[in-house]
């Protein structure tokens, strides 16, 4: 019998609280034994709401605890690379949220450190790889059901937040493409068989949040990416949808196409009456991907316990960052950019 994986979490913000609750209450074969946050209320939340035994203000102090086997990093993106490296050096498995880092050099530093610790799991949270619908689509593509896939059209669109959470988030997020489209970029590479990206073009606009311009960011962005084998991808990201969260992806092949997630329906009820035909919508990314977040955490725990191998690699995360950066350069330059 393997013992439970003992996990410490860093970051208890918007997503960190969700991951912490999943680790404390929903994921088998693990225990949430430690938490780290510079914010007093977040540390109190860990102690009082989740009963976490060891709570730290300082990340290095948490890593020094020999009773922790693994860490989950849900911290600002600008900290991911250094915190992942420190965890590996402390002998801990790591699940780090996406994107791995905001520049290629930092990604490469993480990959180089991971090579020195082959017994440790280092995984990046590309949650859509664990979503049942995307898994279904990937299995169909791999089986040749749509012939040769050559085009992916994928979007991540959030409901407008009038308070503009993401405007405050902009200085550390890397911008809309690194923050949102990085998921679509990883999906496109996964569905197309990991081709090498060669060139990117992007444009965008600020429809509702002009304050983003100060950070060189937009609230609606569009990008085209070319791959070496002739495959193409088209991405759209938005912070300003009126109706809800709508992540959808179309994978087009020579013998058919697959469509995942169109219209963001939150259940299977369609109401028809004098006002028209309509259904309720998913309100945010967590509602859309709750099951996938659970499966992702289970896969991480199973990998750390040596029960299951991961197909998602750090190289995939590096390539997603490389492509996201070329798209962001193109947004700023207005010209196509080499990847
Ligand atoms: N997979 C997804 O779909 C998805 C969705 C949302 C966010 N994310 C990623 O999760 C990460 C966090 O996003 P968020 O929306 O929860 O942000 P957030 O700002 O709400 O939370 C960040 C947390 O990190 C904590 N923190 C800051 N510095 C720290 C440090 N040095 N050590 C420990 N904790 C520290 C903050 O106190 C806060 O709890 C980002 O990298 C983001 O890209 C991924």
Intrachain domains 5-126+293-311 and 129-289+319-338 with the same fold: no
| Separation of CA 247 and ligand 1 centre (Å) | 21
Give the start-to-end residue ranges of the domains of the chain.
5-126+293-311, 129-289+319-338
Instruction: Return the percentage of the chain with pLDDT > 90, whole number.
Output: 94
| Separation of CA 169 and ligand 1 centre (Å) | 10
Q: Are 71 and 92 in contact (CB under 8 A)?
A: yes
Q: From the CB of 125, is ligand 1 less than 6 Å away?
A: yes
Q: How far apart are CA 306 and CA 322, in angstroms?
A: 30
183 CA closest ligand 1 atom index: 3
36 CA closest ligand 1 atom index: 33
pLDDT at 335: 98
pLDDT-wise least confident of 118-122, 221-225, 259-263, 288-292: 259-263
Of 74, 171, 320, 321, the one to substitute when testing ligand 1's pocket (max ligand atoms within 8 A of C-beta) is 74
Is the pLDDT score of 258 beyond 80? yes
Superfamily of domain 5-126+293-311: NAD(P)-binding Rossmann-like Domain (3.40.50.720)
pLDDT at 296: 98
Is the pLDDT score of 214 beyond 70? yes
The CATH class given to the 129-289+319-338 domain equals: alpha beta
Q: From the CB of 39, is ligand 1 less than 6 Å away?
A: yes
pLDDT at 1: 63
């Amino acid at each position: 019998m393997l013992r439970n994986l003992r996990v410490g979490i860093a970051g208890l913000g918007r997503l960190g609280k969700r991951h912490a609750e999943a680790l404390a209450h929903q994921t088998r074969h693990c225990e949430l034994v430690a938490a780290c946050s510079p914010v007093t209320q977040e540390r109190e939340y860990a102690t009082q709401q989740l009963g976490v035994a060891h709570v730290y203000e300082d990340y290095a102090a948490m890593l020094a605890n020999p009773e922790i086997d693994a860490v989950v990093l849900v911290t600002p993106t600008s900290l991911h690379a250094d915190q992942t490296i420190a965890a590996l050096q402390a002998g801990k498995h790591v699940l780090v949220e996406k994107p791995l880092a905001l520049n290629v050099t930092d990604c490469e530093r993480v990959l180089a450190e991971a090579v020195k610790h082959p017994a440790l799991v280092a995984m990046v949270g590309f949650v859509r790889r664990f979503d049942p619908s995307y898994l279904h689509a990937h299995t169909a593509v791999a089986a040749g059901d749509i012939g040769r896939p050559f085009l992916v059209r994928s979007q991540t669109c959030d409901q407008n937040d009038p308070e503009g959470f993401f405007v405050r988030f902009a200085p550390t997020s890397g911008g809309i493409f690194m923050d949102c489209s990085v998921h679509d970029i990883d999906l496109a590479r996964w569905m197309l068989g990991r081709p090498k990206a060669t060139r990117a073009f992007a444009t965008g606009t600020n429809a509702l949040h002009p304050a983003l311009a100060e950070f060189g960011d937009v609230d609606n962005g569009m990008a085209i990416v070319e791959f070496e084998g002739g495959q193409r991808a088209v991405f759209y990201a938005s912070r300003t949808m009126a109706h809800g969260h709508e992540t959808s992806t179309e994978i087009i092949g020579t013998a058919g196409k697959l469509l995942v997630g169109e219209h963001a329906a939150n259940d299977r009820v369609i109401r028809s009456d004098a006002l028209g035909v309509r259904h309720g919508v998913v309100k945010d990314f967590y509602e859309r991907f709750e099951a996938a977040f659970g499966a992702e955490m289970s896969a991480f725990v199973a990998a750390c316990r040596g029960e299951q191998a991961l197909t998602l690699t750090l190289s995939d995360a590096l390539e997603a960052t490389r492509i996201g950066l070329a798209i962001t350069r193109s947004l700023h330059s207005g010209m196509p950019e080499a990847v």
